[in-house]
């Protein structure tokens, strides 16, 4: 029995820690220090730069719809044709009246010339001479009135062809062939421009005052500030533009002020009416320490992270956090620029001082795949 006990003790001393689990594998990344700008986020709506409700300038029955609904059209492209026959007849009538007016004016001029010769020979009275001279002036005025009538009739005939006033995407035809269109009343269709696009958004009063203070310090301009825009189905803010307009007063009912950004839309991804998330550059450039938000843990009202300490042990550090910038969290205090923060696998660390098996990655990178971890071993 003594020999068995001694043998067992010897085996225990020979393999200390036998049966203990290995340290958990975690990903660590060095705190990222770089110069950044603060971005403020607002909600907005996409709006077309130009929007037109097409209405006819003359009344008549629609003879033809000359476009495909929902397609892009060019400025000057034919969209609707209103029956032109009544207006062509009116133009012919006006041209005939112009010819008559010109003939009457020519006759009056001839009579006036003869009256000039007769008055010098004292063959007609002064009254007759003045009457013929007045007839010449009336004839000239009649010609000008007839020419104006011809021009008006020609315009009416031209207006029977409704053409696109701008480049853009056209909506559906509100009036189809055979229906009566009333001048300046009937809505034919709508047309909105496509490139560029506006995004309107509203800023709160405190942010507006902060922007004004930064502008007075020369840390930002009062206009043409860069913006980033993301749509409801997009991750991040892939569209870039600039602020080109800020309203001239704050709405006292809401305490907000409206601003507008202009963005290129070559790929037609922006459509009027869409909801948009807008980020506006809210500060000058400053140096910041950034970490992945996945590394942050909460202990009641305190935020903390685990960093890699001596002998690959996890060390807890309480931190003060700022806002998100470029997908990373700003650390205002609590970390040093050389600290290595445990990012992935932090849930495996149950207490401070626990040993871990670190794998180094770049801050903000995804966790290594299992096969990558095996290869690293």
Over the stretch 59-114, which tens digit does the pLDDT of each residue have? 999 999 999 999 999 999 999 999 999 999 999 999 999 998 888 888 888 877 77
| Among 224, 251, 283, residue at a domain's last position | 283
pLDDT at 258: 94
Q: Mean of the per-residue pLDDT values for the chain? A: 84
Q: Are residues 183 and 237 in the same domain?
A: no
- Please state whether the predicted TM-score (pTM) of the whole model is above 0.75: no
Token pair 């003939």: residue: 103
Length of the chain (residues):
377
**182 within some domain:** yes
Closest CA to 97 of 21, 58, 150, 46: 150
Q: Are residues 197 and 217 in the same domain?
A: yes
What whole-number distance in Å separates Cα of residue 198 and Cα of residue 243?
9
Domain interval for residue 144: 84-159
pLDDT at 197: 95
Mean pLDDT throughout 303-317?
Answer: 88
| Among 191, 213, 242, residue at a domain's last position | 191
**2 within some domain:** no
Q: Are residues 91 and 206 in the same domain?
A: no
157-171, 216-230, 359-373 — which one is most confidently predicted on average? 157-171
The domain tally of the chain equals: 4
pLDDT for 269 beyond 70: yes
Q: For the range 231-235, what are the long-range contacts, defined as Cβ-Cβ under 8 Å and sequence gap of 24 or more?
A: 231/269, 231/270, 231/274, 231/275, 231/276, 231/277, 232/274, 232/275, 232/277
Confidence class for position 223, pLDDT limits 50, 70, 90 = low
Q: Are residues 232 and 332 in the same domain?
A: no
């Amino acid at each position: 029995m003594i020999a068995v006990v001694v043998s067992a003790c010897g085996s225990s001393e020979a393999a200390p820690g036998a049966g203990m689990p290995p340290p958990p594998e975690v990903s660590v990344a060095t705190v990222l220090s770089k110069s950044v700008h603060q971005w403020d986020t607002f909600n907005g709506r996409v709006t077309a730069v130009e929007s037109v409700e097409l209405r006819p300038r003359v009344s008549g029955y629609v003879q033809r719809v000359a476009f495909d609904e929902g397609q892009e059209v060019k400025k000057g492209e034919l969209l609707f044709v209103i029956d032109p026959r009544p207006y062509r007849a009116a133009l012919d009538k006006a041209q005939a009246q112009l010819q008559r007016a010109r003939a009457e004016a020519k006759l009056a001029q001839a009579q006036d010339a003869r009256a000039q010769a007769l008055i010098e020979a004292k063959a007609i009275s002064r009254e007759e001479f003045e009457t013929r001279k007045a007839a010449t002036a009336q004839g000239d005025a009649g010609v000008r009135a007839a020419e104006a009538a011809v021009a008006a009739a020609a315009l009416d005939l031209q207006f029977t062809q409704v053409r696109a006033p701008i480049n853009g995407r056209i909506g559906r035809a509100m009036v189809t062939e055979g229906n009566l269109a009333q001048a300046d009343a009937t809505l034919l269709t709508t047309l909105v421009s496509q490139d560029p696009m506006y995004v309107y958004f509203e800023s709160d009063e405190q942010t507006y005052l902060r922007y004004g203070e930064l502008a007075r310090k020369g840390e930002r301009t009062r206009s043409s500030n860069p913006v980033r825009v993301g749509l409801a189905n997009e991750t991040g803010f892939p569209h870039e533009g600039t602020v080109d307009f800020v309203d001239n007063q704050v709405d006292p009912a809401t305490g907000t002020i409206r601003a507008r950004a202009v963005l290129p839309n070559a790929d037609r991804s922006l459509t009027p009416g869409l909801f948009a998330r807008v980020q506006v550059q809210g500060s000058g450039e400053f140096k910041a320490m950034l970490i992945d938000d996945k590394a942050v843990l909460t202990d009641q009202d305190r935020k903390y992270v685990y960093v890699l300490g001596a002998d690959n042990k996890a060390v807890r550090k309480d931190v003060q956090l700022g806002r998100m910038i470029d997908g990373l969290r700003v650390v205002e205090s609590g970390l040093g620029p050389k600290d290595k923060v445990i990012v992935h696998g932090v849930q495996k660390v149950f207490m401070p001082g626990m040993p871990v098996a670190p794998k180094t990655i770049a801050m903000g990178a995804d966790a290594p795949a299992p096969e990558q971890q095996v290869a690293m071993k």
